């Protein structure tokens, strides 16, 4: 059993730029702007940063932050190349680094021009993790996440009776949450009928089952528990884990294509935190697709495999429901900042600073990452002191 | 004006697979030590860690494990074929492959439908497997 990270590290600062479709700033400038805000939010200065965990598939490397901030002695840097699971997996790496004293304050920045620059199909083709798909499946016509994940969703529907209405429930709920968020891109009301009328992308995914492509930057600062005590409003990390699915580089060969790496990570993170799914007051769940939320709720243990579709019905995942999910609007309606926006939102929730989307009295919250064809990551946080 | 399909870049480990397709044979790797069949081609057997490989010819019979009808032109070369159906096929040998389906109507598909793998030369020198409902 690994040493526990529970209570050893805290998120001390969060920063976000405006999220948009279209930006005149470079991806590096966007994450520098977000990083400054996160450092300021923590009550720190750039010179206090001595650890760096930039987004592995992103536009900037540790050197860019050393150069632009003029950092004199960075003692820890790493990347966690897990696609959409990277940002939350980086929380685990950061927690290890500060808990062991390798560094004091780690910056986790991300910035992207997902709308303005190259789109997802060409981005993933360039990622080394996709080499198996690129060689054996792309010549036949499969390249984009929407296509590669669609057979997972289709099999889930066929095996368990999951429906397009349940997918729509996720999309409409995320939109309703985004409408409360001044920094959300999509704030027009959406109905189940709107979802069903949106064009088919890769069956069963319609346009409104798919996340946005957006421009923006986000960053968090993670410090050791001792250091965090001196910051403005630290949020303690109670449990954290990453998990890799069987056949991680190609979904086609996975024994159960409806089970994600998160299913392996969840018991570890909950065990470390000493809580169970029933204790969670708010969940920020990586929503690259509507179905991905349904599947992760199962793999997190909120319900049994196959019951995720029914779980999202009846307002259960909306604000005021049993388990509010993606209180900021998610990748589906706020913006696609690779889930760092989910991390920022959870920290705000645990501080009681989530504005109109605040879940009253939230004591325990979680954030997931999902990417790279099934990798999963999970962080569980407690209320700010 | 037609756009070429993305062309695979065979490796030392996968070249026999691609060469097999050119001869319209579906070749699978079998562990030279414990006999486990694996796909897609790679150097090591995950069960016994042997690097010894032999190649066996698949029966080309299988069942539909899942599918998707692709409506968005993610692959520009296939723009004119939209909507095309991508099948995940579980072969009799116990491994799967993903390939395009021929003459498939997505609405008529269901899990475990028997399919067979056939071959088409989609462009000069590129022979790919396709799934056909039996
Ligand atoms: Zn073997």
Q: Is residue A172 part of a domain?
A: no
A279 touches chain B (CB under 8 A): no
Of A99, A118, A95, which Cα lies nearest the Cα of A108?
A95
**What CATH number corresponds to the domain at position A289?**
3.40.47.10
B94 touches chain A (CB under 8 A): no
Mean pLDDT score, A212-219: 96
CB-CB under 8 Å, A143 with B75: yes
Minimal-distance CA residue of chain B relative to A132: B40
- Report the alpha-carbon angle A88-A82-A99, nearest 5: 45
**A129 with A372: CB under 8 angstroms?**
yes
Nearest to B66 among A142, A146, A257 (CB): A257
Confidence at residue A58, expressed as pLDDT on a 0 to 100 scale: 80
State in Å: Cα A234 to ligand 1 middle: 51
Q: Is residue A167 part of a domain?
A: no
Q: Quote the percentage of chain A above a pLDDT of 70.
A: 99
CATH for the B59-134 domain, from 3.40.50.300, 2.40.50.840, 3.90.1300.10, 3.30.499.10: 2.40.50.840
Integer Cα distance of A225 and A209 in angstroms: 39
Integer Cα distance of A79 and A295 in angstroms: 26
Q: Is residue A144 part of a domain?
A: no
Q: Is residue A258 part of a domain?
A: yes
B126 touches chain A (CB under 8 A): yes
Q: What six digits make up the tokens of A144?
A: 């984009």
Q: Is residue A354 part of a domain?
A: yes
Q: Which domain holds residue A17?
A: 9-116+211-382
Q: What pLDDT digit, counting tens, does each position of A131-179 carry? A: 999 999 999 999 999 999 999 999 999 999 999 999 999 999 999 999 9
Integer Cα distance of A212 and A289 in angstroms: 10
**A140 with B86: CB under 8 angstroms?**
yes
CB-CB under 8 Å, B7 with A144: no
C-alpha pair distances (Å), B60 with each of A1, A3, B28, B109, B134: 45, 49, 11, 19, 11
Confidence at residue A1, expressed as pLDDT on a 0 to 100 scale: 54
pLDDT higher than threshold 70 for residue A2? no
Place of tokens 């969703």: A153
Integer Cα distance of A237 and A95 in angstroms: 8
Q: Where in chain B is the domain with CATH 2.40.50.840?
A: 59-134
Integer Cα distance of A22 and A376 in angstroms: 29
A246 touches chain B (CB under 8 A): no
CB-CB under 8 Å, A140 with B7: no
Q: For chain A, what is the domain count? A: 1
Q: What pLDDT digit, counting tens, does each position of A277-319 carry? A: 999 999 999 999 999 999 999 999 999 999 999 999 999 999 9
- Report the alpha-carbon angle A49-A53-A58, nearest 5: 125
B43 touches chain A (CB under 8 A): no
Place of tokens 């645990």: A350
């Amino acid at each position: 059993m690994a040493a526990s990270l529970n209570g050893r590290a805290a998120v001390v600062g969060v920063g976000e730029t405006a999220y948009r479709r279209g930006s005149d700033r470079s991806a590096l400038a966007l994450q520098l702007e977000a990083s400054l805000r996160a450092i300021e939010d923590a009550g720190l200065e750039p010179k206090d940063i001595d650890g760096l965990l930039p987004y592995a598939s992103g536009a900037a490397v540790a050197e860019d932050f050393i150069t632009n901030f003029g950092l004199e002695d960075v003692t820890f840097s790493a990347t966690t190349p897990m696609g959409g699971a990277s940002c939350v997996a980086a929380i685990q790496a950061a927690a290890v680094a500060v808990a062991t004293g390798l560094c004091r304050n780690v910056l986790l920045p991300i910035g992207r021009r997902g709308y303005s620059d190259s789109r997802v199909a060409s981005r993933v083709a360039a990622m080394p993790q996709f080499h198996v798909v690129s060689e054996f499946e792309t010549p036949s016509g499969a390249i984009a996440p929407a296509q590669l994940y669609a057979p997972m969703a289709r099999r889930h529907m066929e095996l368990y009776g999951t429906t397009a209405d349940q997918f729509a429930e996720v999309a409409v709920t995320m939109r309703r949450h985004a409408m409360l968020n001044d920094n959300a891109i999509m704030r027009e009301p959406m109905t189940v009928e709107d979802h069903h009328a949106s064009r088919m992308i890769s069956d069963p995914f319609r346009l409104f089952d798919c996340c946005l492509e957006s421009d923006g930057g986000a960053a968090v600062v993670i410090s050791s528990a001792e250091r965090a005590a001196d910051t403005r409003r630290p949020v303690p990390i109670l449990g954290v884990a990453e998990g890799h699915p069987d056949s991680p580089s190609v979904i086609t060969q996975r024994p159960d294509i409806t089970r994600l790496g998160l299913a392996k990570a969840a018991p570890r993170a909950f065990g470390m935190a000493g809580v169970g799914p029933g204790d969670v007051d708010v969940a920020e769940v990586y929503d690259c697709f509507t179905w991905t939320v349904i599947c992760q709720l199962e793999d997190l243990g909120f319900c049994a495999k196959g019951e995720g579709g029914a779980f999202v019905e009846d307002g259960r995942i909306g604000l005021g429901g049993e388990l509010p999910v993606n209180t900021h609007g998610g990748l589906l309606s706020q913006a696609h900042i690779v889930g760092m926006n989910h991390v920022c939102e959870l920290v705000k929730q645990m501080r009681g600073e989530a504005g109109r989307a605040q879940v009253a009295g939230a004591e325990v919250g979680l954030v997931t990452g999902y990417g790279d064809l099934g990798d999963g990551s999970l962080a569980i946080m407690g209320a700010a002191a | 004006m037609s756009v070429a399909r993305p062309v695979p870049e065979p490796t030392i480990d996968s070249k026999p697979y691609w060469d097999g397709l050119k001869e319209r044979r579906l070749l699978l790797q079998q562990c030279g030590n414990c006999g486990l069949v694996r796909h897609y081609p790679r150097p090591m057997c995950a069960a016994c860690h042997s690097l010894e490989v032999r190649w066996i010819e698949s029966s080309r019979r299988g069942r539909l494990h899942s599918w998707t009808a692709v409506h968005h032109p993610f692959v520009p070369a296939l723009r004119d074929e939209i909507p095309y159906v991508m099948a995940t096929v579980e072969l009799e040998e116990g491994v799967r492959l993903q390939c395009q389906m021929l003459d498939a109507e997505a609405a008529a598909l269901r899990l475990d439908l028997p399919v067979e793998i056939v071959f088409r030369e989609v462009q000069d020198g590129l022979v790919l497997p396709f799934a056909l409902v039996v």
